[in-house]
Structure 1
Amino acid sequence: MTTTQNYAVAGMTCGHCEVAIRSEVSEIPGVIEIDVSAQTGRLAVTAEQALDDAAVVAAVNEAGYQASRS
């Protein structure tokens, strides 16, 4: 069973931002799909099991942006 969690991301302005976030979030174990859009400021993460919000927020922070569950 998969689960998708949505986040609002502050600070994204371009495709490079999307790539940076995708790269960091993809390192979280169990993540199977990442949909990130600088245009909408949204991140959707699909995983094999429920994700730890703190892990996603930390990954986005590592990329240089701020995320919150939406």
Structure 2
Amino acid sequence: MRNVILVRNLNNQEDAKRIEQALSQTRTDYEVNLEKQCVVIEGNTDMVAVARKVINDLGFRIL
């Protein structure tokens, strides 16, 4: 299942890299879309929960 997490203040490549590095440490299948300010997660609700926690822990606000 494909899930989209909208991330507020995902404005530049440095922010995208921070999220990518953090998510690479998990088992989530993800894609960071800087243009649309979102992270696309492929997987079940557990994977989405993990990704949301990681993004939140980095200090980004999830919409």
If the length of structure 2 is used for normalisation, what is the TM-score? 0.74
* Structure with more of its chain in helix, by fraction: 2
* Structure with more of its chain in strand, by fraction: 1
C-alpha contact 2:16 2:34 (8 A) present in aligned 1: yes
- Number of positions where the alignment pairs a residue of Structure 1 with one of Structure 2: 62
Identity of aligned residues (%): 13
Q: Which residue of 1 aligns with 2:22?
A: 24
Alignment of 1:1-70 (within 5 A): 3-29=1-27, 31-32=28-29, 34-47=30-43, 50-52=44-46, 53-68=48-63
Unpaired segments of 5 or more residues in structure 1? none
- 1:5-63 Cα shifts (integer Å, max 9, x gaps): 2110111110011111111122223x23x21122211110224xx14233211100122
Unpaired segments of 5 or more residues in structure 2? none
The higher radius of gyration belongs to 1
CA RMSD of aligned residues (A): 1.8
Aligned AA (1:54): A
Q: Give runs of ≥4 in structure 1 deviating > 3 Å.
A: none
Aligned AA (2:50): A
Aligned AA (2:38): R
Distance 2:24 2:2 in 1: 14
C-alpha contact 1:7 1:43 (8 A) present in aligned 2: yes
